[in-house]
């Protein structure tokens, strides 16, 4: 596969990404992607055998970009509390964007694709995020920004709350206020006094 093909493959993945954001995972057919990409039926099969393969590629791209974004925000000379707040604000924004998110598609995808590959991406993302939060809290504690007895437990707890908010946003719906309340609750648990928001 030459360089040109790499370009096209990337184009397909990016186009498919939009389709997945709109329709989730299961509902999307090869035909949908063919039409979105405006290529021929057979053309798509030159690059991918099925929607799962395409979606995996979408996830891979996604997680790369996610890493980049994270390291960008950390580079700045912000305090731990600042960074945590930024992170939570980012999550909130993501949460409330019901459409234009891969959340639903990702959940659907992992519903029907068993363990072995699973660990690769979604779990990896979860674990690495948990670890980063843990580090942040530790730094915050050292700097006297936070108070916390069980940094690891707290970090994990935050992650599960975020997951809970994410899935709730997609199923029962959730208001910005509800998210704010959870964020406040998290901060209070770290001994941060809430001035405004």
Partner DNA sequence: CATGAATGAGAGTTCATTCAT
Partner DNA sequence: GATGAATGAACTCTCATTCAT
CB atoms within 10 A of CB 160: 12
Residue 43 or 191 with smaller CB distance to DNA: 43
Q: Following DSSP, what letter does each residue of 88-124 receive, concatenated?
A: HHHHHHHHH--SS-SHHHHHHHHHHS-HHHHIIIIIH
Tokens 């029962």 identify what position? Answer: 172
Q: Residues in the site for its own copies, rule: CB under 8 A?
A: 24, 26-27, 104, 106-108, 110-112, 115, 118-119, 122-123, 126, 150, 153-154, 156-157, 159-168, 170-173, 178, 181-182, 184-185, 188-189
For 47-102, strand residue ranges (E) read none
Tokens of 28: 């999307």
Separation of alpha carbons 102 and 56, rounded Å = 12
Residue 173, contacted partner among its own copies, DNA, none, CB below 5-8 A by kind = its own copies
Tokens 């208001």 identify what position? Answer: 175
Residue 41, contacted partner among DNA, its own copies, none, CB below 5-8 A by kind = DNA
Of 37-45, 82-90, 149-157, 173-181, the segment contacting DNA by CB under 7 A is 37-45
- Number of residues written out for the chain: 197
Q: How far is the CB of 150 from its own copies (least distance, A)?
A: 7
Separation of alpha carbons 132 and 138, rounded Å = 10
Residue 46, contacted partner among DNA, its own copies, none, CB below 5-8 A by kind = DNA
Residue 191 lies near DNA (rule: CB under 7 A):
no
Residue 116 lies near DNA (rule: CB under 7 A):
no
Which residue ranges make up the site for DNA (CB under 7 A)?
1-2, 4-5, 8, 29-31, 39-43, 45-47, 49-51
């Amino acid at each position: 596969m030459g360089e040109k093909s790499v370009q096209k493959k990337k184009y397909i993945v990016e186009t498919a990404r939009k389709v997945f954001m709109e329709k989730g995972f299961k509902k999307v057919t090869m035909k949908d992607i063919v039409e979105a990409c405006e290529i021929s039926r057979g053309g798509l099969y030159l690059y991918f055998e099925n929607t799962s393969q395409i979606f995996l590629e979408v996830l891979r791209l996604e997680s790369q970009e996610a890493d980049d974004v994270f390291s960008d925000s950390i580079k700045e000379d912000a305090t731990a509390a600042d960074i945590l707040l930024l992170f939570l604000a980012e999550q909130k924004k993501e949460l409330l964007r019901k459409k234009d998110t891969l959340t639903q598609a990702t959940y659907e995808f992992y519903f029907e694709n068993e363990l072995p590959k699973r660990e690769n991406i979604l779990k990896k993302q979860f674990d690495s995020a948990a670890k980063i939060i843990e580090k942040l809290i530790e730094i915050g504690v050292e700097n006297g920004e936070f108070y916390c007895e069980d940094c690891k437990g707290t970090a994990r707890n935050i992650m599960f709350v975020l997951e809970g908010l994410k899935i709730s946003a997609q199923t029962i719906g959730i208001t910005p206020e509800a998210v704010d309340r959870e964020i406040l609750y998290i901060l209070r648990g770290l001994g941060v006094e809430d001035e405004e928001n």
